[in-house]
Amino acid sequence: MKIDTCGTSCPQPVLMTKNCLKKNPDEIEVIVDNNTSKTNVKKYLISQGYSVDIDTQEDISIVKGQK
């Protein structure tokens, strides 16, 4: 699953991630465009039992979670 949270601010990115996790995906990719969102999404995914890998490009990061 892939979601794009660019341009949204607290707490939308984590809320969007939470709504996606309701379907219990094995993999999720969350595109974020600021550090705050990146950290919050990362922490949330870890708290939900995902291992997290972050791929940072110029202005955006892709937070990848795997069960």
Partner 1 sequence: MDNKIKEIKESVPFFESKKGIILAGGIVGAIAVLLVVLGNPKNMGFCIACFERDIAGALGLHRAEIVQYIRPEIIGLILGAFIMSVAGKEFKSKGGSSPITRFFLGIAVMIGALIFLGCPLRMVLRIAGGDLNAIVGLLGFAAGIGIGIIFLNKGFSLKRNYKTSTFDGYIMPVFSLGLLVLLIAAPAFIFFSKEGPGSQYAPIYIALAAGLIVGILAQKTRLCMVGGMRDKVMFNQNYLLLGFLAIIVVAAFGNMLTSNFKLGFTEQPVAHTDGLWNFLGMALVGWGSVLLGGCPLRQLILAGEGNSDSAVTVMGMLVGAAVCHNFSLASSGNGTTPNGQIAVIICFVFLLVISVANSSMIKKNN
> Quick one: angle between helices 35-47 and 12-21, nearest 10?
30
Report which secondary-structure segment, H or E, holds 61.
strand 61-66
How many C-beta atoms lie closer than 10 Å to residue 62's C-beta? 16
Footprint on this chain of partner 1 (rule: CB under 8 A): 6-12, 14-15, 18, 34-36, 39-40, 43-44, 46-47, 49, 51-53, 67
Q: How far is the CB of 43 from partner 1 (least distance, A)?
A: 7
Q: How far is the CB of 47 from partner 1 (least distance, A)?
A: 7
Q: How far is the CB of 1 from partner 1 (least distance, A)?
A: 18
